Amino acid sequence: MAEKQLSAVEAELYDRQIRLWGIESQEKLRAANVLLINIRALGSEIAKNILLSGINSLTILDDGTVTEEEQQKNFLLNKGSVGNPIADEVLIKAQALNPLVKIKVDKQPPSSKDSSYFKNFTIIVATCIKTDLLLKIDKVCRSSNVKLIYGDVFGTFGFSVADFLDHNYHEDQIKLAGKKRTHGEKDHEKTTIKVQGVINYPELKKVLILPNTKQSADSIKKSKRRNELFYIMLALMEFRNKNNRNPAIESKEGDLKTLETIKADIFQLYEVDELKTKLPADIFELVFGEEVVPVCSVVGGVIAQEVIKAVSEKEVPVNNIFLFDPITFDGKEEAIGA
Amino acid sequence: MVVTQITKETIGNSKVLVVGAGGIGCEVLKNLALSGFKDIEIIDLDTIDVSNLNRQFLFRKEHVGKPKAVVARESILNYNPDIQIKAYHDSITSQDYGLNFFKKFNIVLNALDNRAARNHVNRMCLAADVPLIESGTSGYSGQVELIKKGVTQCYECQPKPPQRTFPGCTIRNTPSEPVHCIVWAKHLFNQLFGEEDPDQDVSPDTEDPEAKVEGQAHSATNAGNIQRTSTRRWVQDIKYNPSQLFNKFFKEDIEYLLKMENLWKTRKPPVPLSWEQAASHEGDSVEEENNVRMQDMKVWPLSKCAKVFASTIDVLKNEVSEDKFLVWDKDDKPAMDFVTACANIRAHIFSIATKSRFEIKSIAGNIIPAIATANAMIAGLVVLHAFRVLLQEFEKCPSIYLRQKSVHSKFILAADKQITAANPKCYVCSPKPFVNVFVNTNSMTVKEFETEVLKKGLNMIAPDVVLDGRGMVVISSEEGETEINNDKKLAEIGIVEGSILKCDDFLQNYELSVAVNQYEAKEKDDPLYKIVANPDDLKAKESVNGGEKNGNEEEKQAESDQDDLMVVEESDDPQEGSSKRRKLNPIEDNDDDLCIIDS
Ligand SMILES: [Zn+2]
């Protein structure tokens, strides 16, 4: 078991972030055990950022093999790794990012893991998984006090969905204390006030409601001013659930049709008037192709920062969905199911 | 279609310059390489430090001390050996990177950490008509902005908030905040061990206008000023004896200050402290702690400060010699310990809050916190904008701001609705750049005008200046041509109220007309000079005292940016005052070298 307090080496290495989030946050990070499910283009970005932050351990669970395309988009992979297990291939470069973090790899399929496997982590980060598995993991997480965040990138569109349970956090608010000093000059001492907050995250089965499931979408559809990218997110998740893959350029024509059908079902479920949506008609053009690398950089940065917030219980986290707009490049929170 | 997607061919045929291989630079390089860019050049002046490794992920522990540009190139090649990538361990402001260098590129991506270099690249890209994507992060916040000649505003279109400087007499006579004591302690370090700089005097300032008494303008002034010229020799004569040094700076100088009675009419007077009092001060029972939290995060008791004062002097004195002086460095342990001890001793004397070594290091070293996640987000957006720029879709690249999430805002990334047009009165990118400068033509020398106003204030590198109407060359970038003018006052060579100076920087391909206005500083806090870009601002600016402190000479720029003291004003930070979108002045990511004081 590691020492609770930071060593001088760690203090030097993490100096620039300790100055931002404080030493208590850093100590919580160094005690955190993170599970990353699937380490593809987005997963490699998340892994990089959380390894750099100085967690205790990272377990990489991925049963995939390296493809030519994957090799080109994942900086943790080397040339010549095509055909080998991804989890094995990323290990050397991942470890080099931060030798202080314990990294384990697991090449079994995530779906083969029983519930007890997921209970041993501080937080689980999932990418590229199907919704039923995600909901199953969420159920385990909720019973074992493990936080969960899921995210994906399709083309230039990306998002994340979090379940941080009943999340207590604090943030520092800086106040200029204009206290008068005895000699009449203002002392512009800054004082930092700790402000506490709590967010009660809904369980994911009340957040990710797809057509043909037993869950009622009633609580969700009432909301006005919905960020309509939420429906695009659901459509892409449903596409993968049904087709066991992402939309692909090779089968673009057929995939577009499938996506439009799914979208129509989702609009029906959520009682969205297609004519009134502001989504561009060709929005699905943007989701084809592999994960676009700079979008993974953006979304991977957002998800890793949420992991850091969840672990350190510092700063306001996203509640509960993050949507990256592939047209404007806005990145917004959308509260669903609360 | 809403977005034209960029093709592999367009990316593969584009030549990109990345300026800076720090936090954002590493992320940008990775994104470029993974996106299929094949022709990249990278320039960075810096070498790798341990504190970079929490985010500059192309570097590892064994690279510490090596040039960033070179190691970044090796790391990228290690990922993909087929990329053409050229590295320069150099300053982008060097004469070697002229217009023809910039014209080679389809796009320039800035990943810089200081304003002077940003201003320079801005001008080079305007002159070469190459699109520039400017970016920066500071803690949780960041920003991405396209700069394209004739389409968007330039980096210098909007005046940037001045960096905070402090009047000399506040530092020397009447400190009221911890930062004043920290600046003083750094000056003391330079007085004892560094290159001598008369502007960093630490002894009482007898010229303080506040201290003057009616009828006896220069009563007790001489002693201080004589001492001032010979500090170093005296220190050597007493062989850096710690207790004598202590008594001089913390007892005798303070007693001297107390004699300047006017200063203490409304302030709490300082309390002189002798070596003996400090060394035996109560609270010394604290044992030396080995862990960081105790050593760095706790405020040292006074007796420990005295002990550290003495022990660091013993170390540092052996490092200086006749021909070698020290440059203060926050990462040099004895130098940082010395400043911590001295700042807190002085704070104690003036009843100012004392600080931990950790906090003092932030202020003295001007450290901007930096994290991997913010850099990754910003670098992703930089390359997404680069795709659109290469498709000539400039209007689809409005500025984007990364902000810390708050309960009041749904936005994490907030993009402007449209691109921002240039300021028609910008003194850099308008067709006929023009600026008003306020100086005292009777006291400012030509040399001061060149270094302070033209180089530091207006960011020129090697200006040639002709006095309009008379056709007289007053400043030349050619060596030996105008040195004769250096020590002359501006008025002596005919530069007076109403004069127009044609200033030309050949490297930046930049011609600026400077209108000279006579101005005399009235208050002790008044700046040495003022620069006013928009004549409409003249009235407003004049009434807001201190709004333009660029010229304040008190906190002068040292040799490197590295340690300069610059306090980022709260208002720069978009995270505060959550509802309004505020432009942040991207400082950098790279803390360490940050901050050129614009003075
Ligand atoms: Zn401009």
B579 touches chain A (CB under 8 A): no
Read off the amino acid at residue B110.
N
Supply B471's token pair. 């056709």
3-state secondary structure B34-71: HHCCCEEEEECCCECCHHHCCCCCCCCHHHCCCEHHHH
Q: Render each residue's pLDDT in chain B as its tens digit; 599 residues.
A: 455 677 889 999 999 999 999 999 999 999 999 999 999 999 999 999 999 999 999 999 999 999 999 999 999 999 899 999 999 999 999 999 999 999 999 999 999 999 999 999 999 999 999 999 999 999 999 999 999 999 999 999 998 877 777 888 899 999 999 999 999 999 999 999 998 777 788 989 887 877 766 544 444 444 444 444 567 788 888 999 999 999 999 999 999 999 999 999 999 999 999 999 998 877 645 555 556 566 788 899 999 999 999 999 999 999 987 778 899 999 899 999 999 999 999 999 999 999 999 999 999 999 999 999 999 999 999 999 999 999 999 999 999 999 998 888 899 999 999 999 999 999 999 999 999 999 999 999 999 999 999 999 999 999 999 998 888 999 999 988 899 999 999 999 999 999 999 999 999 999 999 999 999 887 766 788 899 887 666 554 444 333 333 333 333 332 223 333 333 333 333 332 333 333 444 444 443 333 322 22
Q: Is residue B554 part of a domain?
A: no
- From A16's Cα to the closest Cα of chain B, the distance in A is 5
B426 labeled part of a ligand binding site: yes
Task: Please judge whether B291 and A96 are an interchain contact, meaning their C-beta atoms are less than 8 angstroms apart.
Answer: no
Contacts of B175 (CB under 8 A, 6+ apart): B181, B184, B346, B347, B350, B352
Do B342 and B260 belong together in one domain? Answer: yes
Suggest the residue from A4, A5, A16, A229 to mutate for an interface test with chain B (most B CBs closer than 10 A): A16
Residues B81 and B9 in one domain: yes
CB contact residues (below 8 A), chain A span 78-97, against chain B: 78-79, 96-97
User: B119: domain CATH number?
Assistant: 3.40.50.720
pLDDT score, position A219: 77
Going by the DSSP 8-state scheme, the letter that residue B428 receives in this structure is T
DSSP secondary structure letters along A132-187: HHHHHHHHHHHHHT-EEEEEEEETTEEEEEEE-SEEEEEEEEEEEE-PBPTTS-B-
pLDDT for the residue B561: 30
Q: Are residues B19 and B138 in the same domain?
A: yes
- Residue B250 DSSP class: I
Are B256 and B389 found together in one domain?
Answer: no
The C-alpha angle with vertex A324 and arms to A260 and B368, in degrees rounded to 5, equals: 170
Conformation bin of residue B498: beta by default, left when phi > 0, alpha when psi is -120 to 50: left
Note whether residue B543 is domain-resident: no
What is the DSSP secondary-structure string of A117-134?
HHTT-SEEEEES--HHHH
Indicate yes or no: CB of A185 within 8 angstroms of CB of B80. Answer: no
**Closest Cα in chain A, distance from residue B412 (Å):** 5
For A197: left if phi > 0, alpha if psi spans -120 to 50, otherwise beta; the answer is beta
B337 and B208 part of one domain: yes
Residues counted in chain A? 338
Q: B291, A6: Cβ pair inside 8 Å? A: yes
Q: How far is the CA of B428 from the centre of ligand 1 (A)?
A: 5
β-pairing, A331-334 vs A147-154, is unpaired
**CB neighbourhood size of B309 (10 A):** 26
B257 vs B244: CA distance, rounded Å:
18
Clarify whether residues B311 and B201 are in a common domain: yes
pLDDT at A274: 86
B35 — contact with chain A (CB < 8 Å)? yes
Of B495, B512, B532, the domain-final residue: B532
CA of B123 to the centre of ligand 1 (A): 9
Query: Which pLDDT score, from 0 to 100, does residue B582 have?
Result: 38
Do the Cβ atoms of B372 and A49 come within 8 Å?
yes
**Beta-carbon contacts below 8 Å between A and B:** 210
- Nearest-by-Cβ selection for B372 from A8, A52, A328: A52
Q: How many CB atoms lie within 10 A of CB A185?
A: 16
**Where does residue B498 rank: exposed (0-12), middle (13-18), buried (19+ CB within 10 A)?**
exposed
**Domain end residue (candidates: B308, B323, B351):** B351
Whether A23 contacts chain B with CB within 8 A: yes
Residue A116 tokens read as: 């007890």
Number of domains in chain B: 3
For chain A, state the CA radius of gyration. 21
Predicted local confidence at residue B283, as pLDDT: 60
Q: In this structure, what DSSP letter does residue B445 have? A: B
pLDDT digits (tens, 9 = 90+) for B541-550: 444 333 333 3
Long-range contact list for B210-215, CB < 8 A, 24+ apart? B210/B169, B210/B173, B210/B174, B210/B262, B210/B263, B210/B524, B211/B173, B211/B260, B211/B262, B211/B263, B212/B262, B213/B261, B213/B262
* pLDDT value at residue B231: 78
The Cα–Cα gap between B116 and B198 comes to: 24
Q: List CB contacts (< 8 A) between B34 and chain A.
A: 41, 72-75, 293
> Mind listing the pLDDT tens digit for each residue in B254-304?
999 999 999 999 999 999 999 999 988 776 455 555 565 667 888 999 999
Tell me if B542 is assigned to some domain: no
Evaluate whether residue B420 is within a structural domain. Answer: no
On whether the CB atoms of residues A318 and B405 are closer than 8 A, the answer is yes
Task: Give the CATH number of the domain where residue B206 resides.
Answer: 1.10.10.520
Interface membership of B578 toward A (CB under 8 Å): no
Interface test with B, best of A75, A195, A307 (most B CBs within 10 A): A75
| Domains of chain A with bracketed CATH | 8-166+292-334 (3.40.50.720), 167-198 (no CATH), 206-287 (no CATH)
Same domain assignment for residues B230 and B330:
yes
How does strand A123-127 pair with strand A166-177? unpaired
Nearest CB neighbour to B377, from listed A53, A181, A298:
A298
Question: What phi, psi does A207 have (nearest 5°)?
Answer: -110, -45
Do A46 and A90 touch, CB atoms closer than 8 A? no
Burial classification of residue A289, based on how many CB atoms lie within 10 Å of its CB (0-12 exposed, 13-18 middle, 19 or more buried):
middle
Task: Answer yes or no: is B594 within a domain.
Answer: no
CA B394, CA B382: separation in Å to the nearest integer? Answer: 13
Task: Answer yes or no: are the C-beta atoms of B578 and B409 closer than 8 Å.
Answer: yes
Phi, psi of A320 (to 5 degrees): -125, -5
* Residues of B acting as catalytic residues: 169
Bridge pairing between strands A189-200 and A166-177: antiparallel
C-alpha B239/C-alpha B247 separation (Å) is 15
Rounded Cα distance between B337 and B304, Å, is 11
Give yes or no: residues B183 and B114 share one domain: no
Residue A13 forms contact with B (CB below 8 Å):
yes
The closest of B312, B385, B380, B389 to B345, measured between CA atoms, is: B312
Tokens of B288: 């030396």
Last residue of a domain, one of B316, B351, B386: B351
Stretch 52-81 of chain A: residues touching chain B, C-beta under 8 Å: 52-54, 72-75, 78-79
CA trace torsion B439, B442, B444, B446 (10° rounding): 110
**Which backbone phi and psi does A128 adopt, to 5 degrees?**
50, 40
Tokens representing A328? 């404007």
Helix, strand, or coil (residue B17): strand
Q: Is A4 on the interface with B (CB under 8 A)?
A: no
Let me know if residue B497 belongs to a domain.
yes
B82 inside domain: yes
CA atoms within 13 A on the CB side of B498: 2
| A15–B contact, CB cutoff 8 A | yes
CB-based contact B391:B11 (threshold 8 Å)? no
The end-to-end CA distance of chain A, in Å, is: 38
Q: How far apart are CA A205 and CA A45, in angstroms?
A: 27
* Contact map slice: B 236-295 vs A, CB within 8 A: 264, 266-268, 291-293
Query: What 3-state DSSP class applies to B505?
Result: strand
CA distance A137 to chain B (A): 26
B381:A294 CB<8 A: yes
CA of B155 to the centre of ligand 1 (A): 6
In angstroms, rounded to a whole number, what is the distance separating the alpha carbons of residues A255 and A304? 31
The single residue listed with the structure tokens 């083969």 is A112
Which one, of A321, A308, A320, lies nearest residue A34 by Cα?
Answer: A308
Looking at CA atoms only, how far is residue A214 from chain B in angstroms?
30
Contact residues for B558 (Cβ-Cβ < 8 A; gap 6+): B327, B328, B564
Contact A315 B404 (CB under 8 A): yes
**Are residues B143 and B378 in contact, defined by beta-carbon separation less than 8 angstroms?**
yes
Q: Give the residue ranges of DSSP H helices in B6-141.
A: 8-12, 23-35, 68-79, 99-103, 115-128
DSSP per-residue letters across B330-397: TTSHHHHHHHHHHHHHHHHHTT-----HHHHHHHHTTPPP--HHHHHHHHHHHHHHHHHHHTT-GGG-
- Contact list in A for residue B292 (CB cut-off 8 A) is 5-8, 10-11
Residue B538, domain member (yes or no): no
Same domain as B295, residue B234: yes
Enclosing domain of residue B438: 427-532
Q: Which residues of A touch B571 (CB under 8 A)?
A: none
Q: Nearest CB to A197: which of B33, B297, B407?
A: B407
Using 50 as the pLDDT threshold, list the residues of chain A that sit under it: 1-2, 180-187
Q: Are B157 and B194 in the same domain?
A: no
Q: Which of B181, B412, B589 to mutate to test the interface with A (most CBs of A within 10 A)?
A: B412
Task: Determine how β-strand B107-110 pairs with β-strand B15-19.
Answer: parallel
Q: Cα(A332)–Cα(B401) distance, rounded to whole angstroms?
A: 12
**Alpha carbon of B454: minimum distance to chain A alpha carbons (Å):** 33
Judge whether B234 is closer than 8 Å to chain A, CB to CB.
Answer: no
* B161 interfaces chain A, CB cutoff of 8 Å: no
Q: Which residue has the tokens 């939290």?
A: B293
Which residue out of B265, B399, B410 would a mutagenesis test of the A interface target, given it has the greatest number of A Cβ atoms within 10 Å?
B410
Contact across the interface for B410 and A333, Cβ inside 8 Å: yes
Contact by Cβ (8 Å): A126, A137: yes
Q: Could you count the other beta carbons within 10 Å of the beta carbon of residue A115?
A: 13
pLDDT at B288: 55
Q: Is B200 on the interface with A (CB under 8 A)?
A: no
Pair (B388, B281) in one structural domain: no
Tokens 């790391």 -> residue:
B75
By DSSP bridging, strand B84-88 and strand B107-110 are unpaired
Q: Which residue of A has its CA nearest to B64?
A: A13
- The closest CB to that of A75, out of B30, B60, B370, belongs to B30
The CATH number of the domain holding residue B523 is 3.10.290.20
For residues B13 and B154, membership in a common domain is answered with yes
